[in-house]
């Protein structure tokens, strides 16, 4: 049977979470609005066009850039320059959005889930395509869906705790394109199980590397699996998947090559460091936290090239996106895999390998004549903290710091409370705070109370 799509994807994902609270006829009138064109998915090439359209999957979320402690300022003029949702997120408020605002991250990620589900529901019945092509298209859809759900549970669900995940509340787990599903949340464990199932069942049908890094690949899956198991605190499996990715010999950019000539920096889709390209849903202009700035050596090219002074901010800002003007990268990158492996060696007490992997990255972040390799003695006091500090330097201005903050609350002594001063009032995020979980947009809850608000 032909699979009809007569909806704007934007409307689907404003509309998807309205459907369960409306009677069927009114819901279908709301979502079946053809705002661009009517399209029948009949041929395998139709599904391939969906998976190849970067506007369907390329843009993700932005709130982790606001809530993470990479940024901080007490300058009220800067705070007043932000939109109200960013101001609310900056202080981890009970609500981020007004009734008139939409949560772009939530909508983008569930849009990607819905398109993936549409592909998986119909591609194997499509015409004029080989089984090999259908398997590849389905595999790519599974990886995009897994990325979306991993992002969703690390924003709108509790921090994964292995002892509690089966009873922790996750997010709505939608696996078919049916718009009339029950939106009650699945357990956190069930969502993670689905993420792992999607990734492991996709890996055999994808190449080691894609032609362009927008497309999923084996190395992207291995990187996502390492991230997933790190979040789940299954350190042995996180290490194993990092090793599988590193066995494919991924490459790092040598920043020394681009010093003084950033116009030659690789564009997103051909950047060898980017294994799976995703970008943030916009930008958040804010000063870099002085505590983070102080972690850099003056000779660190990340400090020299990725940070720039800003008079209005009265401090530094993240300027790396200005290299290519293609947004803030939030997908899977080679440095993350290297630092995952370094962290896992540190947790296992293997200082020699921890130093080795830190140096693999750092040698490409300094001018060669200025670089003094780390020695075991340099990290022996606290090897895990040494890796955490390197993650902060490397991932500055991106989403990973927020995800690291969340998981490190379960490591005694490695999460330090964050206090921000907003318009003269102090706000503190403690390790036990419920505000590590974002609020669900009230507009969605008004029509779909079965989703339930997160504890505030």
Question: pLDDT by residue (tens digit) across 231-279?
Answer: 999 999 999 999 999 999 999 999 999 999 999 999 999 999 999 999 9
pLDDT band at 16 (very low <50, low <70, confident <90, very high): very low
% of the chain residues with pLDDT over 70: 91
Question: Quick one: CA torsion of 78, 84, 88, 91, rounded to 10 degrees?
Answer: 10
Tens digit of each residue's pLDDT (9 = 90 or more) over 327-379: 999 999 999 999 999 999 999 999 999 999 999 999 999 999 989 999 999 99
Instruction: Give the DSSP per-residue string, 62-75.
Output: -HHHHHSTTB----
Question: Any idea what the Cα angle at residue 52 is, between residues 126 and 321, rounded to 5°?
Answer: 160
Tens digit of each residue's pLDDT (9 = 90 or more) over 386-405: 999 999 999 999 999 999 99
At residue 39, the pLDDT reads 58
Question: Any idea what the Cα angle at residue 402 is, between residues 401 and 406, rounded to 5°?
Answer: 115
Distance CA 95, CA 454 (A): 10
Q: At what angle do helices 383-394 and 400-408 cross, to 10 degrees?
A: 160
For the segment 432-451, the average pLDDT, to the nearest whole number, is 94
Residue ranges, comma separated, of all CATH 1.25.40.890 domains in the chain are 1-79+99-206+437-456
CATH fold of 1-79+99-206+437-456 reads: 1.25.40
Residue ranges, comma separated, of all CATH 1.25.40.390 domains in the chain are 218-415
Q: What predicted TM-score, i.e. pTM, was given to this entire model?
A: 0.93
| Domain covering 218-415 assigned CATH 1.10.3470.10 in the classification | no
User: Which of 376, 337, 378 minimizes the C-alpha distance to 241?
Assistant: 337
For the segment 31-49, the average pLDDT, to the nearest whole number, is 66
């Amino acid at each position: 049977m032909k699979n009809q799509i007569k909806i704007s994807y934007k409307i689907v994902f404003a509309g998807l979470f309205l459907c369960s609270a409306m009677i069927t006829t009114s819901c279908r009138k709301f979502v079946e609005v053809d705002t661009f064109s009517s399209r029948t998915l009949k041929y395998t090439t139709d599904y391939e066009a969906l998976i190849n359209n970067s506007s369907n999957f390329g843009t993700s979320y932005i709130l982790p850039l606001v809530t993470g402690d990479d940024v901080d300022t007490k300058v009220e003029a800067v705070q007043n320059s932000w939109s109200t949702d960013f101001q609310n997120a900056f202080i981890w408020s009970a609500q981020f959005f007004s009734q008139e605002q939409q949560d772009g991250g939530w909508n983008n990620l569930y849009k990607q889930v819905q398109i993936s589900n549409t592909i998986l529901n119909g591609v194997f019945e499509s015409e004029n395509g080989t089984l090999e092509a259908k398997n590849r298209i389905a595999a790519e859809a599974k990886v995009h869906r897994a990325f979306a759900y991993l992002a969703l549970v690390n924003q709108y669900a509790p921090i994964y705790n292995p002892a509690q995940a089966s009873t922790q509340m996750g997010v709505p787990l939608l696996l078919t394109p049916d718009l009339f599903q029950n939106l009650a949340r699945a357990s956190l464990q069930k969502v993670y199980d689905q993420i792992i199932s999607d990734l492991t069942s996709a890996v055999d049908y994808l190449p080691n590397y894609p032609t362009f890094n927008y497309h999923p690949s084996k190395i992207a899956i291995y990187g996502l699996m390492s991230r997933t198991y790190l979040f789940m605190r299954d350190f042995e499996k996180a290490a194993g998947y990092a090793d599988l990715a590193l066995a494919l010999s991924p490459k790092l950019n040598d920043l020394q090559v681009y010093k003084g000539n950033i116009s030659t920096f690789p564009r997103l889709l051909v950047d060898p460091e980017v294994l799976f390209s995703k970008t943030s849903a916009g930008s958040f202009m804010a000063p870099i936290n002085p505590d983070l700035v102080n972690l850099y050596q003056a000779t660190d090219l990340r400090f020299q090239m990725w940070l720039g002074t800003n008079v209005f901010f009265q401090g530094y800002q993240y300027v790396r996106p200005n290299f290519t003007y293609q947004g803030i990268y939030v997908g899977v990158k080679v440095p993350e895999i290297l630092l995952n492996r370094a962290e896992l060696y540190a947790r296992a007490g293997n200082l020699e390998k921890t130093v080795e992997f830190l140096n693999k990255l750092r040698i490409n972040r300094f001018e060669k004549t200025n670089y003094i390799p780390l020695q075991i003695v340099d990290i022996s006091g606290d090897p895990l903290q040494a890796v955490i500090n390197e993650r902060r330097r490397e991932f500055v201005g991106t989403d990973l710091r927020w995800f690291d903050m969340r998981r490190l609350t379960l490591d005694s002594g490695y999460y330090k409370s964050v206090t921000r001063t907003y318009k003269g009032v102090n706000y503190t995020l403690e390790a036990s705070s419920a505000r590590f979980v974002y609020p669900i947009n009230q507009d969605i809850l008004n029509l779909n109370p079965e989703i339930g608000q997160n504890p505030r």
